[in-house]
Structure 1
Amino acid sequence: MFFPSQNSSPSFKDFTLVMPAVAVGNVGQLAADLIVSTLDMSRVGYMHTDCLAPMAGNNPYTRRKGDAEELHTAAEVYTAAGRKLAVLQIRAPIIEIRSKKFIRLLLSWIKTSGFSRTVVLSSSHAHRRDDQQLRGAPLRYLATPSLLGGAADALEGLGWRDMERVTEADAEPRLSVPGGGITKRLFTESCAEDLPLAVLLRFCSEGDNVPDAFALANHLNDWLRLLDDPSLKQNTWTAPSSWSLLFGSGVPPALF
């Protein structure tokens, strides 16, 4: 599934993996863009699987002259080795009938690579919230028992709100992440396999989801302190060059 860019495969042992779920508003993917762009992360490989819709395009993180024409694909892995941080960016939809297979392949790669923890950036439909989910900021988290074993105090100190379980009729409360793509299944499978994994999500609606992405990235930064680095020119997120085309290239003057 994973193919390195160089002849030798990079070591991910004890790295933190951050990845998006392809979910409503593409908020997780946009937040992952902010991380890769701001930290000037290096591409170290890509994922090749029939579980993702095939796509290719120019470099979304153009930083210098001559690198805009680099070919980039549906799922790629970036690292900031000094921080022991890796980002798996997914740019294409997960084919629905192959989502279970994708999760199996993904969890297998995570286990064999030796990541110390995985953080999934996701989103959920704002209009599907129940009464208790309307309270407070529109940000929630989930954590597997394996991750809580070493991070419970840190998460508690942040004052974050755990994702509420919803109750329908007389049924038992259950986890529901409408619009979250593979989020729920990925979390439950990680619990079953005793993997340290956290989900950070934002309730949102489709539209201009750039503010949601900044909010989710800031939420992650409260925990991982990604912007606390003297090597950064400024302690703020840097949007990638590709975002200039999020809503098209503008109105052609020839129309008027």
Structure 2
Amino acid sequence: MGKKEVVIVSSLDSGKMPRCDMIGQQIHYISTGNVDGTDERCENLGWKKLEQYVPSQRGWQYLDSQLVDGSVQDESFWAEDDLTDEDYFPSLPFASLFSSCKAKGLKVTCLFCFCSEGDNMQDALLLAEAVYKFIGKCSSTSLGNRNTDWAIPLSWKTVYGPPPDMSMF
């Protein structure tokens, strides 16, 4: 379709976040920019590569081999009883999309934010700002400091019901 680069945006389960990442920058990434998943542009923006992306791990190898060979995926791989924690991230939907684009020779960057269950509107806005920054629409110092008036989907306004009546506090 003539596209040269794809940006995938996804949330990740905050329960899988490394403890050392609990403070600081919330945006993580993986990219096809380098074999190890790093990308200079993302590093310059102050983002961390997703530590759990290790291309030599069997889940990532499985995805790559299935997509490069063009063979039908053997679903029994994901049903095995010996799946480990390292197989968690390759089993997520973003991983298949990432590997598919990679197999087609596209430059792909996935941007992630670890989220908890509940109201993730701020996380979604953080990811939107990250994409905006990544594609060069705002300066590297303005992420999180811009008061962008994003068009918030109407469905978000009632997901958790109306705001509480503040007079009861």
Which residue of 2 is the match for residue 201 of structure 1? 112
Query: 1:235 Cα deviation (Å)?
Result: 4.1
Shift in alpha-carbon separation, 1:191–1:133, aligned structure 2, 3 A: farther
User: Aligned partners of 2:33 and 2:133: how far apart in 1?
Assistant: 21
Which residue of 2 is the match for residue 214 of structure 1? 125
Shift in alpha-carbon separation, 1:158–1:142, aligned structure 2, 3 A: same
> More deviation in 218-227 or 190-199?
218-227
Compute the TM-score of the two structures, normalised by the length of structure 1: 0.41
User: Aligned partners of 2:40 and 2:53: how far apart in 1?
Assistant: 25
Cα deviation digits, residues 49-88 of structure 1 (max 9, x gap): xxxxxxxxxxxxxxxxxxxxxxxxxxxxxxxxxxxxxxxx
2:28 match: secondary structure? strand
Query: 1:158 Cα deviation (Å)?
Result: 1.1
Aligned pairs for 1:62-211 (under 5 A) are 113-134=1-22, 136-145=24-33, 152-165=39-52, 176-177=88-89, 181-211=92-122
Unaligned runs of 5+ in 2: 59-84, 140-146, 165-169
Query: 1:201 Cα deviation (Å)?
Result: 0.7
User: Aligned partners of 1:165 and 1:181: how far apart in 2?
Assistant: 12
2:98 match: secondary structure? helix
1:200 match: secondary structure? strand
> More deviation in 124-133 or 199-208?
124-133
Which residue of 2 is the match for residue 79 of structure 1? none
Compute the TM-score of the two structures, normalised by the length of structure 2: 0.58
Which residue identity is paired with 2:158? L
User: Aligned partners of 1:243 and 1:226: how far apart in 2?
Assistant: 25
Query: 1:133 Cα deviation (Å)?
Result: 4.3
Which residue of 2 is the match for residue 242 of structure 1? 155
Higher strand share: 1
Query: 1:185 Cα deviation (Å)?
Result: 1.8
**1:144–1:198 Cα contact (<8 Å) kept:** yes
Unaligned runs of 5+ in 1: 1-112, 147-151, 229-233, 252-256
Query: 1:166 Cα deviation (Å)?
Result: 7.0
Query: 1:128 Cα deviation (Å)?
Result: 1.7
User: Aligned partners of 1:125 and 1:184: how far apart in 2?
Assistant: 14
**1:118–1:198 Cα contact (<8 Å) kept:** yes
Shift in alpha-carbon separation, 1:250–1:130, aligned structure 2, 3 A: closer
**2:29–2:42 Cα contact (<8 Å) kept:** no
User: Aligned partners of 2:150 and 2:6: how far apart in 1?
Assistant: 21
Shift in alpha-carbon separation, 1:212–1:128, aligned structure 2, 3 A: same
Which residue of 2 is the match for residue 149 of structure 1? none
Shift in alpha-carbon separation, 1:247–1:159, aligned structure 2, 3 A: same
Query: 1:186 Cα deviation (Å)?
Result: 1.6
Cα deviation digits, residues 148-207 of structure 1 (max 9, x gap): xxxx4433321211110279xxx88957538x8411122123223321111111101110
Aligned pairs for 1:29-48 (under 5 A) are none
Aligned length, in residue pairs = 128
